């Protein structure tokens, strides 16, 4: 029998991925993943100034819910792309993004909510010098570097099956992990976003259990993060996507700490209102379970540490 996914037409697989993930999201809601409350920080959020959001991804709506739920501080990290083929290239300007966030910060500060100006930059080695120059001229409070699957990527739904055919997991993931390793080594970013989102792109050809069975695949990227001091982001979006686990999972976070890594952030990576803080409490539980006491963050100056448990003083 042939693998059912392999003879799906590509369009079908793209659509079915969306449908499957909608079901995963609903199941997570039923299991309480939508109920994150009383948490100090969400470091990864997109608004309508990112091209891949829904119209209800409004900054003020996030802020109102954050207050209602007791989430004390948000970093707004809309997409910044350097490759003209990528969706966010010239979608919104630095000035628009900064104005939107700084004005919201002023509006919401009296209500006890801190809103920080961040960005999620798509890292590609080919654009590293451009990103460095641009970041020098365009300061943010907090900057995430992420490797994404652009229109020409091998991991796009319409070509991934052909790409993985006959490849080992190590071979299939090598181009992705090499790029993530370079993003950490660049030293440009406070954290690396969803460091193993390739887990999502490779379903159903390789499953999260296949990744778990080959922890050595993560060693070079974790070493780069430890040596550069770049934070690992525990990204909760994987809980509503095909992997059904955070990017990365608890075992990878544990290995990072064992290797001497100390810097960890947590973000929900919402692109619509319903995804705001989704799975965030679960990501905090993971961090707590790993023995992490404070998250790494930046508010424009030096790195700061934000205690996991709310109400403690921040240093
Ligand atoms: Zn991303
Ligand atoms: Zn994102």
Task: Tell me, in angstroms, the distance from the centre of ligand 1 to residue 235's CA.
Answer: 9
Task: Tell me, in angstroms, the distance from the centre of ligand 1 to residue 2's CA.
Answer: 33
- Is 22's pLDDT higher than 70? yes
Task: Tell me, in angstroms, the distance from the centre of ligand 1 to residue 244's CA.
Answer: 16
Task: Tell me, in angstroms, the distance from the centre of ligand 2 to residue 146's CA.
Answer: 8
Distances from the Cα of 105 to the Cαs of 63, 102, 270, 304, 315, in angstroms?
A: 9, 5, 18, 19, 21
Task: Tell me, in angstroms, the distance from the centre of ligand 1 to residue 289's CA.
Answer: 25
Task: Tell me, in angstroms, the distance from the centre of ligand 1 to residue 147's CA.
Answer: 7
Burial class (CB in 10 A: 0-12, 13-18, 19+), 61: middle
CA distance 100 to 92: 11
18's tokens: 């969306």
Average pLDDT, the chain: 94
pLDDT tens-digit series, residues 30-83: 999 999 999 999 999 999 999 999 999 999 999 999 999 999 999 999 999 999
Quote the pLDDT of residue 4: 42
CA distance 137 to 93: 13
Quote the pLDDT of residue 296: 98
Task: Tell me, in angstroms, the distance from the centre of ligand 2 to residue 6's CA.
Answer: 28
Task: Tell me, in angstroms, the distance from the centre of ligand 1 to residue 68's CA.
Answer: 26
Task: Tell me, in angstroms, the distance from the centre of ligand 1 to residue 146's CA.
Answer: 6
| % of the chain residues with pLDDT over 70 | 94
CA distance 260 to 86: 35
Least trusted range by pLDDT, from 73-82, 104-113, 149-158, 201-210: 149-158
- Is 310's pLDDT higher than 70? no
What is the DSSP track for 47-106? -TTSTTS-TT--HHHHHHHHHHHTB-EEEEEEEE--STTSTTTTTS-HHHHHHHHHHHHH
Residues in the chain: 315
Task: Tell me, in angstroms, the distance from the centre of ligand 2 to residue 269's CA.
Answer: 5
Task: Tell me, in angstroms, the distance from the centre of ligand 1 to residue 194's CA.
Answer: 7
Quote the pLDDT of residue 267: 98
Task: Tell me, in angstroms, the distance from the centre of ligand 2 to residue 267's CA.
Answer: 9
Quote the pLDDT of residue 9: 55
Task: Tell me, in angstroms, the distance from the centre of ligand 2 to residue 3's CA.
Answer: 31
Task: Tell me, in angstroms, the distance from the centre of ligand 2 to residue 7's CA.
Answer: 30
Judged by its nearest atom, the ligand closest to the C-alpha of residue 197 is: 1
Judged by its nearest atom, the ligand closest to the C-alpha of residue 194 is: 1
Q: How much is the average pLDDT of 112-121?
A: 98
SS3 165: coil
Task: Tell me, in angstroms, the distance from the centre of ligand 1 to residue 122's CA.
Answer: 7
Beta bridge mates, 192: 145, 232
Q: In this structure, are residues 3 and 151 in contact, taking their beta carbons and an 8 Å threshold?
A: no
Task: Tell me, in angstroms, the distance from the centre of ligand 2 to residue 260's CA.
Answer: 26
Q: Kindly give, in sequence order, each residue whose CB lies less than 8 Å from that of residue 152, ignoring residues fewer than 6 positions away.
A: 85
pLDDT tens-digit series, residues 242-278: 999 999 999 999 999 999 999 999 999 999 999 999 9
Task: Tell me, in angstroms, the distance from the centre of ligand 2 to residue 113's CA.
Answer: 21
Residue 151 pLDDT level (bands cut at 50, 70, 90): confident
């Amino acid at each position: 029998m042939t693998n059912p996914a392999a003879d799906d037409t590509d369009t079908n697989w793209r659509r079915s991925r969306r449908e499957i993930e909608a079901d995963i999201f609903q199941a997570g809601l039923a299991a309480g993943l939508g109920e994150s409350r009383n948490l100090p920080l969400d470091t990864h959020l997109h608004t309508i100034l990112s091209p891949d959001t829904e119209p209800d991804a409004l900054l003020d709506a996030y802020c109102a819910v954050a207050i209602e739920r007791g989430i004390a501080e948000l970093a707004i990290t809309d997409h910044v792309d350097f490759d003209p083929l990528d969706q966010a290239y010239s979608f919104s300007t630095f000035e628009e993004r900064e104005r939107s966030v700084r004005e919201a910060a002023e509006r919401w500060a009296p209500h006890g909510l801190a809103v920080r100006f961040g960005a999620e930059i798509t890292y590609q080695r080919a654009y590293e010098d451009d990103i460095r120059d641009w970041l020098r001229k365009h300061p943010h409070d907090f900057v995430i570097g992420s490797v994404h699957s652009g229109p020409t990527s091998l991991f796009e739904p319409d070509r991934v099956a052909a790409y993985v055919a006959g490849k080992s997991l190590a071979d299939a993931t090598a181009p992705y992990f090499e790029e993530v390793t370079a993003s950490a080594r660049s030293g440009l970013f406070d954290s690396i976003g969803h460091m193993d989102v390739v887990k999502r792109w490779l379903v159903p050809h390789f499953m999260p259990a296949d990744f778990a069975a080959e922890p050595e695949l993560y060693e070079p990227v974790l070493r780069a993060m430890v040596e550069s001091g770049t934070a690992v982001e525990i990204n909760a979006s994987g809980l509503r996507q095909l992997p059904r686990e955070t990017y990365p999972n608890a075992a990878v976070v544990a290995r990072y700490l064992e290797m001497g890594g100390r810097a960890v952030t947590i973000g929900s990576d919402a692109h619509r209102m319903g995804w705001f803080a989704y799975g965030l409490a679960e990501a905090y539980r993971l961090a707590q379970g790993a023995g992490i006491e404070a998250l790494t963050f930046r508010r424009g100056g030096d790195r700061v540490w934000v205690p996991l448990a709310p109400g403690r003083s921040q240093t």
